[in-house]
Chains A and B, each alone.
Chain A
């Protein structure tokens, strides 16, 4: 199958000009001055690229969402005192559990990273660790909701929706916000709430299908609803679409001024293009063996997440503004030693591969990669060999997109119970992400129910120290 050409597609005007009757274009060129102004006002529609508030450091986001709450004290937050005092009584109750894994310094920045992430450790000089993370919610669903929307109590727009609302998108053949494999019941996490529906995430491959594989030969029957016509071939469908557009153009001519009809005309062309672009972008057979191997595709246990990471790169490369991937579950209440190491081995190579691939394509400098779970885990033991939820202090990281590499910001106390310095609440985290994208979190507002809403509500401080 050929790579579809992403350039040189006919735009709306070309289409209207080439429609056999040829009346559509007249409607545009002959439009009244006010109407032209009206059109400029909404030029390109609500998804057209928009000017950020200031010079952005990142143009796009890949969010690696680690569902379940990965342990920070076993991965990115080195706690020698915890190891030293392992078995002693914890702060609240239970015995401290020293990490069973060894930590070592990595890269020029000398970041301490555990042996659970050997491959990501290799990329340490790209990482900016946020070791003072904290949020308000100690239970999964609500913490997940807060991580995505800032608010666990009410239905609010998601981070991706706000981003798309603020920046628009750059590929007119693809949705601007894609959530790959979101868990069931998480629609709110990629929803647009009161923002217009065009800003909501398109979910691809809902995880309901257990073991669904992306990008396989026949991996997923239909990742997006109605992406393929069951009866007509391409030529016939184009012919039918031309007739539809003729009727639309005729309506536009009669109505003289109708942004709604223009929107419909455009949406059909994008839909028609998406029918090619999306399946083709999702066909990772087009990638070289070397690239596939870099992500750990076709090997265990990295195949599944490797495919998602590779798809994420293909999407952002094609101009998709915000891509989210979900991996779970990291909820290790017991048997930490085996389960955490399983989880890490599934994502380590794919994530390192993603960072490396973005870097060698010169994409990492303006692509913000975020790695985060909804919270971390307790330094003391639960069920003897597990860890409980801990929202008071944990670690997330960012890479690329203008953040300092090989850098660590914030600390928890000597055991990792809670953030004590360089704290980054979820609101601060949101403010910082928007800032890197050139958006002022206080200015990015939407009026609903009589007041201006923002992602960070009345909170949020940008962590300027982490910006390179």
Chain B
């Protein structure tokens, strides 16, 4: 596909190389013109450098702190590397040097204040044609590593960098407790610390725990009944059956997929200053959920996300799926305001390296961007070996090209058509209308540029340059919106289907090591490769290969010491409350050592042996006696092990935000289990988030009201008169095209869908999620916080959604029975998965009898307030 962007500023993310290909060209300069080296330098010093300092450094130098258009002209490297428009100078070629056309006031008009004199322009011509000799900063930098080969060899001895081997199941004293291998490993540690395992949890508690852990929903009344009857026949068998049932449920992927989305820092917008939407990110979300439901082998799951675009496929369906999977590398937060394309590119690459290594390998390589890793033997060169892989990769994330967005990109069109449900088709006349609008705007744009050029050439001109600047910005944004909409449709007005993701660059390159990570301090070139300390031997990336597929295969090889360990540890944490390695993203020397190293290795090897099946592993853990223990407090054990590192009981856990919201919907019998198509963010198309709302760009464009002003300008100075006029303008614009005003799309919609499908826009997380420690969506979050804040109190006491669910819950109880005592009984059973205790029931009855609402429908309101209180109480949000 091609997605045109405004012509003036086109760029590709995966910049080709840090050393410009143009260097070699300088050798081809016509020898006749070539002066001696000394003469060339002399010419530069006398004719060129003073002009650069006087006319250009103000906006294009490190000293002035500015790099307008991404360009810095105070070093040779800067001039050759160029800015947004590519290299500024191509030695020997006037035609290819944007600097030349700029000083001639062609594409750009530089310097903007006044055109250079004819003589000076002539000097530049001579200088460029003689090969642009430039003595500034020519010394080659060779960065020396402080991490030696010996350090790396030593480092390989660290436990987590050694390949796991399957340990034998240990002998224990209390062999009757359990035959299960997991239990033997756990019991061994307990016995070594003079601890005893807690008794089994009662069936109510256990079923509730299983349901929350496996599918994120509370057990229904029927499920409780069924489980109890099975339990009385054979508890072990009951657990096995329940686990199988839950693993087979489609709800499983919605729960476990979300765990993955936490570490994959999933979100549907760029975050940061502009917060442009990612209307196609939901495809990645659904891909993840489906992968968990299908029990896709974990190694394959990782390969698809790191290099899905490069994997061989048989069908377009598989190809589509693999492309969507690479969204993993594209959905991170983006600083779209970054002026310097190389800085942006290196930051993007850094984010990709950071996420890939911390999520999959549980080590942090990104520290080595600026210096050799202080703790683990990861030299800076390892980082730049990986950087070369991602530098040879183009990342596609879209985003609406507004004036402030300096870094929009293209998207990937899917091999098979799969428009989202919000994409209505357009009529031919609508398409035509949009095209005409675009032509009109393009003409307007050219006119504005022309008058801006004239204004610059003629300082006496009456035109206010600030106004002109704004007009250019407005028209550019309007064009971008029109183009964005037009590109989303084919010629017949049918919506096209896109995803976010990556593609290999045309020509793989190596990165240069950057001293202190600074883009203008390149040192030696580093061959593409991986982190040495966890590689078995030296790994070669073929010259014509980006190395990303090799990286994905190396990560998921059964020789890799970390990948399986890291994932089984995550799974263990989600089931037992804490990881065997508590620092789930840090298996390096600064992380916590494993509490049960043999168990970790046993699980890791079993995981690989069972074809990396996540469901098998969960089944194994959930059917262990360790998992089944009660969380009952025991003072003596607590004295020995207050943090429960040795697992003498089950750790009580606060439920995740999604689980709490889904549980309320479930007990009020409102939960819609059907998956909604796409997301509210998709409804808006490519746009920017404003005041917690979105508006659909296509609708705005068709309503003729697309950003009639530069919307990013602060509004603080606008007086009410201006506001009125703006509103009036928009009303008239809408009336003219016969369309109503475009309604806002809520980012916190009142829906009955499962929470995993709520829109996840950075810095605009729905309240029901944000209030209960939702994963910060700009970061890799392996463990969520569990805070207790007054905001949570306000939410449960006063929130509209909570009150609505308590209304419906009460209604459900009224339908269940007309007896208050039975209503109360049922309320506790549904909310807590067990009958209320005597005290709870008595307190509830007291409350019911004495509560005075002063309202009309006294009985219903009493029951509602009772239901709300039961949901608000601690028991509801804790899994015991």
Contacts and interface: CB of A to CB of B under 8 A. Distances in A.
User: Is chain B found bound to chain A in the same assembly?
Assistant: yes
Interface of A: 20-21, 23, 32-35, 38, 45-46, 67-68, 90-94, 136-139, 141-142, 145, 152-153, 155, 175, 183-185, 187-188, 193-194, 196-198, 202, 206-211, 224-233, 236-237, 239-241, 243-244, 246-248, 250-252, 254-258, 260-261, 263-272, 274-275, 327-329, 331, 333-335, 342, 383-384, 386, 391-392, 449-451
Contacts of B800: 230
B787 interface: yes
A197 B66 contact: no
A257 B644 CA distance: 13
B466 A251 contact: no
B779 A194 contact: yes
Contacts of A266: 788
B718 interface: yes
* Dominant SS among interface residues on chain A: loop
Interface string B43-79: 0000000000011011100001110000000000000
**Leading 8 A-B pairs by shortest Cβ distance:** A92-B58, A271-B793, A263-B788, A208-B691, A141-B273, A247-B873, A450-B590, A32-B635
Contact of B847 (A145, A239, A260): A239
B113 A267 contact: no
A94 B793 CA distance: 58
Nearest to A417: B64
Given A236-B853, A236-B854, A211 B720 contact: yes
Given A188-B763, A224-B794, A247-B875, 11 more contacts: A206-B692, A211-B720, A227-B798, A230-B800, A233-B854, A240-B869, A261-B878, A268-B793, A268-B872, A275-B794, A329-B714
A282 to B, nearest CB: 15
A405 B785 CA distance: 43
B590 to A, nearest CB: 4
A185 B880 CA distance: 39
B556 interface: no
Given A210-B718, A243-B843, A450 B638 contact: no
Contacts of A155: 333, 776, 778-779
A386 B851 CA distance: 66
A402 B635 CA distance: 49
Nearest to A326: B716
Contact of A21 (B58, B590, B839, B877): B839
Interface in B816-874: 837, 839-840, 843-844, 846-847, 850-855, 861, 865-866, 868-870, 872-874
Nearest to B358: A449
B591 A243 contact: no
Contacts of A227: 794, 798
A240 B790 CA distance: 16
B696 interface: no
B786 interface: yes
B364 interface: yes
B90 interface: no
6 contacts: A93-B111, A239-B847, A243-B869, A260-B786, A260-B874, A272-B793
B585 interface: yes
B525 interface: no
B465 interface: yes
Nearest to A206: B691
Contact of A226 (B55, B797, B861, B872): B797
Contacts of B692: 206, 208
Nearest to A254: B837
* Dominant SS among interface residues on chain B: loop
A136 B65 contact: yes
A328 B872 CA distance: 41
A205 to B, nearest CB: 12
A327 B717 CA distance: 11
Contact of B851 (A20, A239, A252, A335): A239
Contacts of B416: none
B699 to A, nearest CB: 21
B294 to A, nearest CB: 32
Contacts of B861: 231
Contacts of A383: 464-466
Name which of A207, A263, A450 has the most chain B CB atoms within 10 A of its CB: A450
A260 B654 contact: yes
A248 B719 CA distance: 51
Nearest to B467: A334
A248 B773 contact: no
A425 to B, nearest CB: 12
B321 to A, nearest CB: 31
Nearest to A137: B65
B375 interface: yes
Contacts of B194: none
Interface of B: 54-55, 57-59, 64-66, 111, 113, 272-275, 333, 335, 337-339, 347, 358, 364, 367, 374-375, 464-466, 583, 585-586, 588, 590-591, 631, 633, 635, 638-639, 642, 652, 654, 689-692, 714-718, 720, 723, 763, 767, 773, 776, 778-779, 785-795, 797-800, 803, 837, 839-840, 843-844, 846-847, 850-855, 861, 865-866, 868-870, 872-875, 877-878, 880
A198 B367 CA distance: 27
Contacts of A269: 793
A240 B716 contact: no
Contact of A93 (B113, B338, B773, B869): B113
A267 B850 contact: no
Name which of B111, B797, B839 has the most chain A CB atoms within 10 A of its CB: B797
A28 to B, nearest CB: 14
A268 B874 CA distance: 10
A450 B873 contact: no
Contacts of A198: 787, 789
B850 A239 contact: yes
Contacts of B358: 449
Contacts of A206: 691-692
A142 B714 contact: no
B851 A450 contact: no
B238 to A, nearest CB: 24
Nearest to A92: B58
A209 B870 CA distance: 36
Nearest to B583: A450
Contact of A35 (B333, B591, B638): B638
B716 A329 contact: yes
Contact of B797 (A93, A194, A229): A229
A225 B798 CA distance: 9
Given A93-B58, A185-B275, A21 B793 contact: no
Contacts of B792: 264, 267, 271
A392 B272 CA distance: 24
Contacts of A272: 793, 797
Contacts of B880: 255
Name which of B718, B723, B798, B799 has the most chain A CB atoms within 10 A of its CB: B798
A447 to B, nearest CB: 9
A67 B652 CA distance: 46
B331 to A, nearest CB: 15
A67 B714 contact: yes
B716 A328 contact: yes
Nearest to B807: A231
Contacts of A275: 794, 798
A304 to B, nearest CB: 9
Given A155-B778, A239-B850, A257-B633, A250 B64 contact: no
A468 B287 CA distance: 61
A244 B714 contact: no
A235 to B, nearest CB: 8
A450 B364 contact: yes
Contacts of B718: 210
Contact of B855 (A45, A183, A231, A237): A231
